């Protein structure tokens, strides 16, 4: 996404708590859809990751509207990517003085919107 054309508006959500695979299953559903259709889908999906994804999507559309003067009704989600972030390492005590490592995963969400052609 480093060499994006100027007709795309980007937004990034970084260090979001949640695993990459659970975020990707939601992003796969909304990729290529219009902004309004994606918002409706995110509203009724039963996953916890829809909250941060909605926030990043609204930010991308606000960037397109404010910085580029695009109409939100014409925008389509052109790119939706989730990459792995750093893991928070925690330890849980177990039997006989042992410790059990827990990795609390984080992810980075990137969404690009572009006007429909």
| 112 CB-contact burial (10 Å; exposed 0-12 / middle 13-18 / buried 19+) | buried
Q: How deeply is 113 buried, as exposed, middle or buried, from its count of CB atoms within 10 A (0-12, 13-18, 19+)?
A: buried
Q: Report the CATH number at residue 51.
A: 3.90.470.10
Measured distance CA(8)–CA(11) in Å, rounded = 10
Q: What is the DSSP letter of 95?
A: G
Domain count, the chain: 1
- The pTM of the full predicted model, rounded to 2 decimals, is 0.88
Q: Is residue 60 part of a domain?
A: yes
Examine the pLDDT at 106 and tell me if it is beyond 60.
yes
Model confidence over 59-97: pLDDT tens digits? 999 999 999 999 999 999 999 999 999 999 999 999 999
- The counts of H helices and E strands in the chain are 3, 5
Radius of gyration of the chain (CA): 17
The answer to whether residue 1 sits within a structural domain is no
Contact predicate 12/52, CB 8 Å: no
Domain membership flag for residue 92: yes
For residue 117, what pLDDT band results from cuts at 50, 70 and 90? Answer: confident
Q: Is residue 3 part of a domain?
A: no
């Amino acid at each position: 996404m480093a060499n994006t054309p100027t007709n795309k508006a980007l937004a990034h959500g970084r260090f979001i708590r949640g695993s990459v695979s659970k975020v990707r299953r939601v992003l796969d559903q909304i990729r290529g859809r219009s902004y309004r259709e994606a918002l409706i889908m995110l509203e009724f999906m039963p996953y916890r990751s829809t909250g941060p994804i909605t926030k990043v999507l609204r930010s991308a559309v606000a960037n397109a509207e404010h910085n580029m003067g695009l109409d939100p009704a014409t925008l389509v989600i052109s790119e939706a990517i989730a990459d792995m972030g750093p893991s928070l390492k925690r330890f849980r005590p177990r039997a006989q003085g042992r410790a059990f490592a827990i990795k609390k995963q984080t992810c980075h969400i990137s969404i690009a919107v572009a006007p429909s052609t």
